Amino acid sequence: MSSDETNMQLLKSFSPLDGLKRDNLAALARKVQLRELSPGQVLFKEGDTEKRTFYIASGILELVDQGKVVGTVAGGSELARNPVAPVFPRRVSARARDRVKFISIDSDLLDVMLTWDQTGTYEVSELQGKSDSGDDWMTTLLQTKAFHKIPPANIQAIFMRMQQINYRAGDVILKQGTEGDYFYVLTRGTAIVTRETPLSKDGIKLAELSVGDTFGEEALISDAKRNATVTMTSDGGVMRLGKEDFKKLLNEPMLHWVSYEQGQKMVQNGAVWLDVRLPSEYQNHHIDGAVNIPLYFIRLKINTLNSNTKYVVCCDTGRRSSAGAYILNERGFNAYVLQGGINKDKV
């Protein structure tokens, strides 16, 4: 029996996983592993807020409140069929009495899968039929915080409206300076993002892409021409979504607009203004204290930003800043957009 089949049998012993359709359960089984705790080792502490769903497969887990054991969960018992202490923040701590085997699942991912399974006709097998790369790219997307903000019905429609395109190494998927027409998800292979400049006709490298990475959104959001070229560095493929479907189904639910006054209050409480215009525009006029990272450098410089900080993204009109905020939100940041841009508001 394969490890995936073993995982499926194990997952079927838990609630509500036992209610998932077979293909959805199989997709989940490929993303979870059976893990182990040594005696005395802590699974989580009281007050923890990390959204993980835990199930006990074997051994005994003690639930501890203020140093006193207030309950136990024994693998194979009726109690163990349900998630351990599912309320956030955790009201108790959990530690292993003996050797404990457990599984851990991203709670938001599980919630999305359960919602799909129970409210629509979506099944992973239907989507696999559209792509020969399996569901790794889909699960990668679902595990991003960005997709947790999208209504399940929208996600279902997004996947169903995507088109598969195959490429060879060296093929250009999109070219700098052309009109934006599609949003892309890399489903097989690798690619490179480059930007041509007056000093570099061959282009400077902005990013390397792998399975599950997305691109092409900036031009769709800002109604501008492509600001970079994406070239395959190996044989592979993408799934693409048309411009209007992207805007309606994916972009709108992810953007949060604020007025200048609201942005200022957020900054007073620890947020940061992030100006995505060109350095020359920034030097001519900008909001006091704003950090400047041009839109086309966002992917390259994203590691310099603090994922625990809120960002109020701004530009002159709101077009480029909405593209920048989308990229940040897609990668787990908490980003807002200045409504109308700095040219509209008195800054």
CA distance 262 to 273: 12
Main-chain dihedrals φ then ψ at residue 99, nearest 5 degrees? -75, 120
**Rounded to whole angstroms, what are the CA distances from 196 to 96, 187, 193, 227, 297?**
56, 26, 10, 9, 13
Q: How are strands ordered across the β-sheet holding 35-37?
A: 35-37, 100-106, 52-58
DSSP string, 100-125: EEEEEEEHHHHHHHHHHHHHSS--HH
Catalytic residue among 142, 290, 315, 325: 315
In the annotation, is 315 catalytic?
yes
Tokens 């905020």, residue?
Answer: 325
Round the CA-based radius of gyration of the chain to a whole number and report it.
23
Which amino acid type is present at position 139?
T
Q: How are strands ordered across the β-sheet holding 200-209?
A: 172-174, 229-232, 191-197, 200-209
CA distance 99 to 58: 8
Structural tokens at position 80: 């163990």
CA distance 134 to 187: 9
Q: Of 85, 14, 103, 100, which is closest to residue 45 (Cα–Cα)?
A: 85
**For helices 107-119 and 22-29, what crossing angle results, to 10°?**
170
Residues classed as catalytic: 315
